[in-house]
Amino acid sequence: MIRILLLSITLFYSTAGHAIEANQFDNAQMEADYNQLIKELRCLVCQNQNLAESNADLAQDLRRETYEMLKAGKSQQQVIEFMVARYGDFVLYRPRFKPSTYLLWLGPFLMLLLVITLVLRHFLNSDEAVSADAELLQQARQLLEKEEPRT
């Protein structure tokens, strides 16, 4: 039991305690900006990690660059522009809304709309089918009634 506990504690700390530099921030806003930026920027080497999570050399460089730009009084937006100019939209975990990403942003809603239309049409059609059947049934009944009973 204790062994399992120790193992889980070790494993927990091994994943939690990485990629932290001792940065001095001028104020709380700068620290918040920095932490948000390194969460939203992607490391290009280990592509499914952001700058905060990655230990790759490049991620360290990009974190340093982010820190130094903020230190120099640059805004979050300026840091993002800087990264996009060099590495393209791929560095952004939140893709921008522009012509080439319209489908990405709107696609899910279009799909939803399509499915809703299909479902609605399906139910409306089946109602029609039932009513058509009812009409036929009525006709059939009338025909049956008209027929002379055999003696």
Site string for another protein, 105-134 (x = CB under 8 A): ------------------------------
CB 56 within 8 A of CB 45: yes
Using the rule CB under 8 A, which residue among 37, 38, 41, 44 binds another protein?
A: 44
Task: Report if residue 58 touches another protein, rule: CB under 8 A.
Answer: yes
DSSP 43: P
CA 94 and chain centroid, separation: 8
Task: Report if residue 40 touches another protein, rule: CB under 8 A.
Answer: no
Using the rule CB under 8 A, which residue among 7, 55, 61, 93 binds another protein?
A: 61
Distance CA 122, CA 124 (A): 6
Number of residues located near another protein, criterion CB under 8 A: 15
Binding piece for another protein, criterion CB under 8 A, among 13-21, 26-34, 81-89, 94-102: 81-89
CA 40 and chain centroid, separation: 13
Distance CA 98, CA 20 (A): 34
Tell me if residue 42 falls in helix, strand or coil: strand
88 vs 95, which CB is nearer to another protein? Answer: 88
CB 85 within 8 A of CB 31: no
Task: Report if residue 47 touches another protein, rule: CB under 8 A.
Answer: yes
Enter the tokens of residue 115.
């499915």
Shortest separation between residue 90's beta carbon and another protein, angstroms: 5
Residues lying near another protein in the complex (CB under 8 A): 44-45, 47, 57-58, 61-62, 65, 84-90
